[in-house]
Amino acid sequence: MNIWRSIFLLAVLPMLAPAQDSDPTRPLPRNQFRNGEAVLRAFAPLSKATRDSIIKLNVDGETVALGVVVDTNGLALTKASELKKGKLTCWLASEKEVPVEKLAADDEEDLALVRVHATGLKPIRWSDERVTIGQWAITPGIAATPHAIGVISAMPRKIRGRQAFIGVRFEPTGSTRIDGLLPGMGAEKAGIKSGDIIIGIENEVVTNREQVATRVRDLRDGQKVKLRVQRGEEQFDADVQLMVPDPDEPRFGFFRQSLGRLGTDVSHRAEGFEQALEHDTVLPPWLCGGPLVNLDGKAMGLNIARASRVTTYALPSTLVQRILEALKAKAAGAPVSSI
Amino acid sequence: MSRLRGTLMNPGARVFLVAWVIFALISVRTTFAGETTAPAQTKSSKAGAKGEIGLWTVPPRPTPVSRKDLPAAFSKPAPTSVADLKSIEQRVKDLIPKISPAVVAVEIGHGSGSGVIITSDGLVLTAGHVCGAPDREVLFRFSDGSQARGKSLGRDEDTDTGLLLITNRGPWPHAELGDLELAGTGDWVLALGHPGGYDSTRSLVVRLGRIIRVGADALQTDCTISPGDSGGPLFDMQGRVIGIHTAIRSSLTENFHVPITEFYDGWDTLVRTGAKTEPTFAPRAFLGATFVDAVTGCRIATVDSGSPAAKSGLKAGDVVLRVDGRELSAVLFRRFIAESEPGETLKFDVKRGQRELSLTVKLDSAPRLK
């Protein structure tokens, strides 16, 4: 009896299975993707709690950034470099469009203080708690559900400015013999050739690649460095200007920067921040400038840049609040304390 | 939720498997001045010798684990409340410290990628295109800044699976392997790795997403991954490795991972080069210098501070004429050092400028990890 039942089941199961899993390769419905509507809907209470603290900024009618309201008189912060010249207005959660005035900016951290000519705005509540890797990072806007969500990906850290280079490649042994030059960069312009050996930088002797890298690493775009170069029996000095290569330059491995941006637009200003939280939210550059909130509806920071396919940066709340005070003083015409 | 048990992808799916190889996720390290790449202090392994991988066992194929301990939020098509979001967040925050220590950045030649350690004696899963040919030297970097050395064991280009071995002595933190028996679309997953290559100022990078498609030979998620992530692990919400990052396409939701089952089916291919003999893990002789060919013998390019080379008085720029009376090219010199024993004393005849010197070098063992 049992045997017969087993055979019966074996025969039936293959017919039943396709009925349950009609197409096993069928993908997840789009609205259930991490950034799909069904998932975003669960975050609606957070949007409701913050939408009156957010503005959507337009220049000549085109959305350029979000902004975060910081007091009851209409002061707000946003990403400075997105405020192009033109007529500045913003949309509010109430669906009104109101004029906006730019008051002051901090170019170092790319923040601008603006005044929104409207009433009924609520200041954002800042969170001063430590962030944890893996916690939700929500980017609400003025709508009922957030624009996008993600998680904190990496601990807060300083984000260096874009690396400037002298434009040489060394042979792979670790020595300072040059075996390639990046076209159009400083080294080539200074007359350095493949086969030359760098023996000194700014009157200091160097013998390996790492010493050169260490000396050059802290220099910025446009600065010059004096290299002592050996070519055969001859030695000479060369003043080489550091330059930032075109990120799309396919030679010598720079292509990784463009591959790293595959599928995403990045912010024009996406590097050089004193401190930033890294999160994996997929956010278009024109939706930076607003708050990054946690599940308590408090702002952990301000989204400052879309940096790569996997990276969005937010300035941490403590840094934002510090710069806010300096910007208020600047706007009031008071001397600005060091920030 | 659609489930799959060993089902082959349809022919259309096969096509995309081929198409996205062009976006393979390896990150190329450059050697430009100003780049933060540490020069690989290359010490040749005992070249080509077989049977020195040592005795190790591949973890057994895991049995499916019940998902009953997962909070209810994980079995919904989508979270429906802030309470659901809180329980997802709590699970993720609890998992990360447990799974992170086993994730490494790997540097092989000019490439860099990621990997995950799966046994205490240092077997590391990675992508085939990160691993490359067997017997290549590998530098492993941990999130805490420590390093280990090892080699590539083998790869399979069709599945893009690769296997590496840490040759420094363990035990190593390792991740639990998972299965895809109960995996389905909509499962929440974590992708870990080093996008853009290892960055000493940044921690490991964590991304959360959902399974969009799962098959026997393809796994797609909306965890955004990027060059440098290749070979890094995809974890399920029980903290088990269910995939290895392999490729992306231009859409942000087209991130592909080698299903872990491809490894179970292919261990033999991956370890073909390693005979399972006695464990060796013998400490290797260490000089602490790099060298390039010179007209006669070879020239010291760099000397590590504090290394046996530095202690003996060897300096960068010295031309090594003879070692123990033998004239050696750079290649032979590397092999000579690699085949020497720690503690052995070698006599170096070097030329420094116009002077000829004779120096005695006592080899040490390769630096241990902290």
Nearest to B226 among A150, A175, A308 (CB): A308
**Chain B partners within 8 Å of A172 (Cβ):** 31, 110
Let me know if residue A257 belongs to a domain.
no
| Interchain CB contacts (distance < 8 Å): A and B | 233
Instruction: Print the SS3 string covering B35-55.
Output: CCCCCCCCCCCCCCCCCCCCC
Q: What is the pTM of this model?
A: 0.71
Phi, psi dihedral angles at B262 (to 5 degrees) = -65, -30
Would you say residue A319 lies in a domain? yes
* Nearest-neighbour CA in chain B from A281: distance (Å): 9
Q: What is the pLDDT of residue A313?
A: 98
CA distance A256 to B197: 10
Same domain, A142 and A176: no
**Terminal alpha carbon distance of chain A:** 85
Per-residue pLDDT at B79: 97
Pairing state between β B240-248 and B176-177:
parallel
The pLDDT assigned to B170 comes to 80
Q: Are residues A233 and A273 in the same domain?
A: no
Looking at residue A297, what is its pLDDT? 97
CA distance A271 to A142: 27
| DSSP percent split of chain B into helix, strand, coil, nearest 5 | 20, 30, 50
**Which site among B224, B235, B299 would you substitute to test the A interface, given the most A Cβ atoms closer than 10 Å to its Cβ?**
B224
- Number of domain units in chain A: 2
Domain-located, residue A251: no
In this structure, what token pair is assigned to residue B281?
């893990």
Report the residue from B38, B40, B212 with minimal CB separation from A27: B212
The DSSP call for residue A138 is E
Q: Is residue A246, in this structure, part of any structural domain at all? A: no
Q: Is B2 touching A (CB cutoff 8 A)?
A: yes
Contacts with A209 from chain B: Cβ below 8 Å: 31, 33, 39, 302
At A209, which CATH number?
A: 2.30.42.10
ipTM score of complex: 0.77
- Confidence (pLDDT) at B19: 33
The reply to whether residue B302 touches residue A282, judged by beta carbons under 8 angstroms, is: no
Residue B23 contacts A, CB cutoff 8 Å: yes
Q: Are residues A177 and A218 in the same domain?
A: yes
A106 and A211 in a single domain? The answer is no
Residues 264-293 of B with CB under 8 A from A: 290-292
Q: Is residue A198 part of a domain?
A: yes
Q: Give me the percent of chain A exceeding a pLDDT of 70.
A: 87
Answer yes or no: are the C-beta atoms of B189 and B213 closer than 8 Å.
Answer: no
In a domain, A2, yes or no: no
CB-nearest to A310 from B36, B207, B211 is: B207
Q: Does B20 touch chain A (CB under 8 A)?
A: no
- Do residues A139 and A173 share a domain? no
| Among B residues 199-228, those touching chain A with beta carbons less than 8 Å apart | 201-213, 215, 220, 222-228
Per the domain annotation, does A76 fall within a domain?
A: yes
Regions of chain B where pLDDT drops below 50: 1-24, 28-55, 273-282, 368-370
Low-confidence ranges of chain A (pLDDT < 50): 1-22, 250-256, 336-339
Ordered structural domains, chain B, with CATH: 11-270 (2.40.10.120), 285-365 (2.30.42.10)
Judge whether A260 lies within some domain: no
Q: Which residues of B are catalytic?
A: 129, 160, 230
- What is residue A126's DSSP assignment? B
Q: Using the structure block, give the residue that is written with the tokens 């080509």.
A: B48
Residue B108: phi and psi, rounded to 5, are -130, 120
Q: Whats the size of chain A, residue-wise?
A: 339
Q: Say whether both A68 and A185 belong to one domain.
A: no
- CA closest to A36 among chain B residues: B78
Domain extent at residue A317? 44-159+267-331
* CATH at A112: 2.40.10.120
Q: Say if the Cβ atoms of B89 and A295 lie within 8 Å.
A: yes
pLDDT at residue A265 in the model = 86
In angstroms, the CA A8 to CA B8 distance is: 26
